[in-house]
Structure 1
Amino acid sequence: MARLARSEVFDPDEIAIAHVTTRTVRRCFLMGDDPITGKNFDHRKDWIEGYLIHYAHFFGIDLLAFALLSNHAHLILRTRPDVVATWNDNEVARRWMMICPHRRSSDGVPLTPTEAEIRSIAGCPVKCAEIRKRLSSISWWMRLLCQRIAIRANQEDEETGHFFQDRFHATRIVDEASLLACAAYVDLNPIRAALTETLERSDYTSVQRRIDSITTETANDQAVSITKLRDHFLAPIAIDERSGQIGPCASQSGDRCSDKGFLPMSLEDYLEMLDWTARQIALGKRGITPADTPPVLKRLGLDSGKWCELVSDFGRLFCTVAGRPECVDSLRSHHSHRRYHLRRRARELLTR
């Protein structure tokens, strides 16, 4: 079955959540320990994380989770055209100029755009409308990210050609259960790949950044006031649909697009769920499985066996759209109005 065009799955005017993956050419370890050359390229993960922090600051997109490995990367992104709609034309131009600057400092940092540079976009309604769409576009986020990493890596290696395979792959997440499973799948990637055994040692992941922020805040309250927490660019975990703020919820700090959470649980509950799930999947891992299934699984109608399979095989189970069968079956592609295909095993796991 031919894969649907991305424009069929994602409407630029709708808020959408996507699990995005990109892989280096020929699955080479171009972002870690290369067994062929013996070189270590972990510093390229620092490059990627630096771009993620910068993009989270200026794009109209929430970064929910990420995991950077030696030959591929996982991101969970939420488009926020509703937040972008609150920005005036000058703000749209300023943000784009900070993403694609005309001028940089000697160390490569984008310089604040001049009034003339801002007017070159803000003064043209057609151009400004196009830039406004780009700011909440996953395609533009990934296009610029992959281009810039490829250019830096090729310059470093004195090579030419592709660094990443083809285009990135994106799976749309359409319900809460699939989003939780996808977030666990991404944050547990280093453990599943046998690169580490614990969450706090899962380098270059969003869960490690969230844990670092908790330990920093607990150990030194004064440090928090003068130093940004390690997860300042990530969307918060918890969302309170009853008493929480409704609407765009633009970020108060400016470090991220918005302050809206994405899961109906606290960060502590999320970490406990991840730890429990890691113990179920990683054979030979130390620790005792909790006697009772975490409450969140009961709320979502998932038993422990189904949950572990859903998390460990998320990338194989879902292709274009991820969600419960009733949610996926109710959707149609935007232009041809075709149904989305959901693998039989995915249907079995997510059927209540």
Structure 2
Amino acid sequence: MTTARRALIAPESTPFYHVINRCVRRAFLCGEDGLTGQSYEHRRGWIVDRVKDLSTIFCIDVCAYAVMNNHYHLVLKIDVDGAQRLNPKDVISRWLQLFHGHEVAAKYLKGDSLSDGERMLLDGLITKWHERLSSISWFMRCLNEGIARKANREDGCKGAFWEGRFKSQALLDEQALLACMMYVDLNPIRAGIADSLQDADFTSIQERIRELSNAERLFKIHDGDHRTAIDQAPSDVDLSSTEPMLAKPLLSFDGAISPEKQQGIPFHFSDYLELIDWTGRAIRPDKRGSIDEHRPKLLTELGIASDAWMLSAKAFRRQYGGVSGRWDAMCAFKVKHSSGKWCKGKLQSEALHPH
């Protein structure tokens, strides 16, 4: 029996989630069909473009992504504060970018007067749409339905394109978020289809490295000025604006900000880049076990053993069930949201949380 989605996604416990979706039959999300020789590489762009479009509309940020041959991974953050800042017009205008909406909402946007009954109806619609705009389930529905229709039209067929509903993992703390992002970003290298981070096409780490390279071209380092562009990130999108929004960038790294003010990923990008480069060189299929003696800063600060980290980078998805984090927090999450069901991943959790 499958677990109810409300038991797996609980914004009051954590805003960070790892989601995965896989194709059914012998359907190709992308890649090349060995039997027919037909290429589906262009579909990778469909996924990335649609994810970014939806992230702009929904109050959901993208931390990491990787689009593989027959599945994709996303690490998402529910922007609870951003959702709370939305006013009724924001909610309606965003929802109308996804669905037709309701005629009473169109009347409201035009400034027409509403009867008491219409006002009550509108209030109910706004409440429902507001909740959905910060729902990962609705985000994934809008992503998967559009891609499935487009792919089926291209293939000239009907029927299911995705393997049931998406799978999700709640990421309860910094170690879980770091390990999961690393696992997602390193998918092409772990699968042997890329030799380096720069060659890992359609991944968030490749996008971040390219943005960093572009930023370094724009920012000139003056004599005596030791600033770098590595932790530069675009400013936040104004979620309260009713004007058409520009595409939202990937969620920024804000490790320099105090914990109580953090809205992004709680690490420095320079430290993340050091760790993923070190990890990626060690897990390449042609260089198994080749671990550099120099331990990256993040592993030292978190006290995580190198062998435990490498195992996590290779098998994070299989190590846990629907939740990852410190063991006591995982158990508490299960008790609160799943009626105390069995929890998977104790040994792996303790390895990532040695203190």
**Shorter-chain-normalised TM-score: which range?**
0.7 to 0.9
2:266 to 263, 268, 281: 263
The TM-score normalised by the length of structure 1 is 0.83
Match of 1:305 in 2: 307
Partners of 1:113 and 1:236 lie apart in 2 by 38
Structure 1: gaps of 5 or more residues: 103-111, 247-259
Partners of 2:88 and 2:209 lie apart in 1 by 37
Match of 1:255 in 2: none
Partners of 1:333 and 1:77 lie apart in 2 by 23
2:148 to 150, 154, 157: 150
Q: Confirm or deny: 8 A CA contact 2:14 2:171 kept in the other structure.
A: no
Partners of 2:214 and 2:119 lie apart in 1 by 41
Classify 1:236/1:121 alpha carbon distance in 2 versus 1 (closer, same or farther; 3 Å). Answer: farther
Partners of 1:335 and 1:322 lie apart in 2 by 14
Q: What SS does the corresponding residue of 2:97 show, helix, strand or coil?
A: helix
Match of 2:178 in 1: 180
Q: Equivalent residues in 2 for 1:175-214 (5 A)?
A: 175-214=173-212
Partners of 1:327 and 1:121 lie apart in 2 by 43
Match of 1:17 in 2: 16
Matched, 1:236 2:252: yes
Q: Confirm or deny: 8 A CA contact 1:11 1:334 kept in the other structure.
A: no
Match of 2:109 in 1: 115
Partners of 1:122 and 1:96 lie apart in 2 by 18
2:276 to 269, 274, 277: 274
Q: Confirm or deny: 8 A CA contact 2:19 2:169 kept in the other structure.
A: yes
Q: Confirm or deny: 8 A CA contact 1:19 1:77 kept in the other structure.
A: yes
Match of 2:226 in 1: none
Q: Which amino acid aligns with 2:34?
A: P
Partners of 1:142 and 1:96 lie apart in 2 by 15
Partners of 1:122 and 1:191 lie apart in 2 by 54
Q: What SS does the corresponding residue of 2:343 show, helix, strand or coil?
A: coil
Q: Confirm or deny: 8 A CA contact 1:331 1:339 kept in the other structure.
A: no
Farther-moved stretch of structure 1 (331-340 vs 123-132) = 331-340
Offset of residue 284 of structure 1:
2.9
The TM-score normalised by the length of structure 2 is 0.82
Matched, 1:77 2:76: yes
Bigger Rg over Cα: 2
Classify 1:117/1:64 alpha carbon distance in 2 versus 1 (closer, same or farther; 3 Å). Answer: farther
CA deviation map 1:17-58 (0-9, x unaligned): 110000011354332111122111111111111111111111
Match of 1:41 in 2: 40
CA deviation map 1:282-307 (0-9, x unaligned): 14349985432112112222111110
Match of 1:4 in 2: 3
Q: What SS does the corresponding residue of 1:316 show, helix, strand or coil?
A: helix
Partners of 2:276 and 2:153 lie apart in 1 by 38
Q: Confirm or deny: 8 A CA contact 2:21 2:167 kept in the other structure.
A: yes
Match of 1:130 in 2: 128
Q: Confirm or deny: 8 A CA contact 1:154 1:163 kept in the other structure.
A: yes
CA deviation map 1:136-172 (0-9, x unaligned): 0000010110000000011111110011110000011
Q: Confirm or deny: 8 A CA contact 1:176 1:263 kept in the other structure.
A: yes
Partners of 1:12 and 1:294 lie apart in 2 by 31
Offset of residue 315 of structure 1:
1.0
Offset of residue 221 of structure 1:
4.9
Q: Confirm or deny: 8 A CA contact 1:80 1:136 kept in the other structure.
A: yes
Classify 1:32/1:113 alpha carbon distance in 2 versus 1 (closer, same or farther; 3 Å). Answer: farther
Q: Which amino acid aligns with 2:255?
A: I
Partners of 1:28 and 1:99 lie apart in 2 by 26
Partners of 1:92 and 1:59 lie apart in 2 by 10
Classify 1:38/1:348 alpha carbon distance in 2 versus 1 (closer, same or farther; 3 Å). Answer: same
Match of 1:252 in 2: none
Match of 1:58 in 2: 57
Could you say what the CA RMSD is over the residues aligned between the two structures, in angstroms?
Answer: 3.1
Q: Confirm or deny: 8 A CA contact 2:59 2:134 kept in the other structure.
A: yes
Q: Confirm or deny: 8 A CA contact 1:325 1:350 kept in the other structure.
A: no
Farther-moved stretch of structure 1 (131-140 vs 236-245) = 236-245
Q: Confirm or deny: 8 A CA contact 2:8 2:168 kept in the other structure.
A: no
Partners of 2:298 and 2:338 lie apart in 1 by 37
Classify 1:117/1:67 alpha carbon distance in 2 versus 1 (closer, same or farther; 3 Å). Answer: farther
Name the % identity: 33
Count of equivalent residues: 323
Q: Confirm or deny: 8 A CA contact 2:282 2:288 kept in the other structure.
A: no
Structure 2: gaps of 5 or more residues: 221-228, 236-246
Partners of 1:100 and 1:117 lie apart in 2 by 20
Classify 1:300/1:27 alpha carbon distance in 2 versus 1 (closer, same or farther; 3 Å). Answer: farther
